[in-house]
Amino acid sequence: MSHLQLIPEQASTFALKVDLLFYGLLALSVFFFGAVTLMVAFLSIRYRKGSNVDRGPMDHSIAKKLELTWTIVPTILALAFFGWSAYVFYDFTVIPEGSMDVLVTGKQWMWKVQHPNGKREINHLHVPVNTPVRLTMTSEDVIHSFFIPVFRLKRDVLPNRYTTMGFTATKPGTYHLFCAEYCGTEHSKMIGKVIVMEEGEYEKWLADGTATTPAVPAASGGEQLFMRMGCANCHNSVNTARGPQLSGLFGKEVSLTNGEKIVADENYIRESIVNPQSKLVVGYPPLMPTFKNQMKEEDLYVLVDYIKSLEAAGASSAQRGNAS
C-alpha cells in the first residue's frame, strides 16, 4: 500500500461494528477533552490576577445543579458505551451454526492451518468470501495470539486448550496475519497472509493437492485414528465396563468422580485424551493411559472432531458426511 493508512480496511462483517465503537469512543473522548480544555482556558483568563470580576460567595443552587449534571450525564454515557461494547463483544464470541471449520496451530514460530478436507498450509490462511468460518486454535508450545487486522479479530492461542474465533470475510484480497503475543526470539517473524478468495476459486484451491502437503481426509481420518490408537478397545458398545460410551457424548453433561458436572465440549474431549486422569467419569476406573506426545495437534483435532460426530445409540459413524 503506497498511501498512508491509519486504520486497516474493513474486510469482515465484524470490522464495521468494531470501527463504529472505536470512533464512538474517540468522539466522546475528543468532546470531553475539548470541553475541559476550553473551560480551563476560559476560567484562567477570566479569573486571572487583577481582573475585574465578581469574586463574591458562590450561589449554591447553581452549584448543586452543576454537580448533578456532571454526575448523571457521564454515568448514562458510560453505561451506554458499556452496553454497546458488551454487544460487540458478544457478537465476537458467538459463532454461527454451520460455519466452515478450520484448525489453526501456533508453534514457535509459524502458523499451521488445516482445512476441512485435511489440506494443510503454513503461514497462509485461504478462506472463501461471504462464508462463515470458524477457527479452532491451539498451540504446540507457548501462548501465541492470532491477529487479522482487516477482520478486527484477535484472540490468544493457548497450549493444551482450544480457543475459537468466527468471521465472515467480505472482500477478496490478500491481507496481513500476525502473532500478537510475544512468544520468543522470532515472534516478529511469526507472520503470514490471509487470502480471501471467491467461493469457486476457493473450492478449486482446496481440491488442488499439489500446492502444499498432501491432503489427509479429515472426515475418514478420524475413524482410522480411533481404530489405530486403540480407542475402540474400551470405548465400544460391548465392553462398557472399561470406558464410557462416546456415542452421543458431545454437548451432554457428564458427572465426574470429584462431584463436579461438566458439559462435554471440544476442550473436555481433548483433555480426556491427553490427560485422562484429570477429569474421571463416575463409575469408571482410572485405566486410560495418556496420549500426550503421541499425536500431533492436527491429528488430535481430527480425533476430537470424529468423537463429536458420533451419534447416540446405534446410529453408525458411516452416516457422517464431510467434516461437520
Contact residues: ligand CUA, CB under 6 A: 106, 109, 144, 179, 181-183, 187, 190
Query: Do β-strands 261-263 and 163-168 pair in parallel, antiparallel, or remain unpaired?
Result: unpaired
| Minimum CB distance to ligand CUA, residue 109 (Å) | 6
CB atoms inside a 10 Å sphere around CB 250: 21
Q: CA 195, 196, 197: angle at the middle one, nearest 5?
A: 110
Interatomic CA distance for residues 131 and 133, integer angstroms: 6
Q: Are 251 and 260 in contact (CB under 8 A)?
A: no
Q: Please provide the size of the chain in residues.
A: 324
- In terms of CB distance, is 107 or 320 closer to ligand CUA? 107
Q: Are 159 and 124 in contact (CB under 8 A)?
A: no
| Minimum CB distance to ligand CUA, residue 138 (Å) | 13
Identify whether 84 is preceded by a cis peptide bond (ω within 30 of 0).
no
- DSSP letter string, 214-275: PP--HHHHHHHHHHHTTHHHHSSSS-TTTS---TT-TT-EEEBTTS-EEE--HHHHHHHHH-
Nearest to 110 by CA among 123, 121, 119, 120: 123
- DSSP letter string, 59-106: -HHHHHHHHHHHHHHHHHHHHHHHHHHHHHHHHHH---TTPEEEEEEE
| Minimum CB distance to ligand CUA, residue 275 (Å) | 24
- In terms of CB distance, is 15 or 183 closer to ligand CUA? 183
- In terms of CB distance, is 141 or 199 closer to ligand CUA? 141
- In terms of CB distance, is 139 or 247 closer to ligand CUA? 139
- In terms of CB distance, is 223 or 298 closer to ligand CUA? 298
| Minimum CB distance to ligand CUA, residue 300 (Å) | 20
- In terms of CB distance, is 125 or 179 closer to ligand CUA? 179
- Quick one: cell of 159? 497450549
| Minimum CB distance to ligand CUA, residue 157 (Å) | 8
Using alpha carbons, list the distances in angstroms from residue 146 to 142, 153, 181, 314: 13, 8, 8, 40
Interatomic CA distance for residues 155 and 168, integer angstroms: 16
- In terms of CB distance, is 52 or 185 closer to ligand CUA? 185
| Minimum CB distance to ligand CUA, residue 65 (Å) | 53
| Minimum CB distance to ligand CUA, residue 142 (Å) | 7
- In terms of CB distance, is 190 or 197 closer to ligand CUA? 190
Interatomic CA distance for residues 112 and 195, integer angstroms: 15
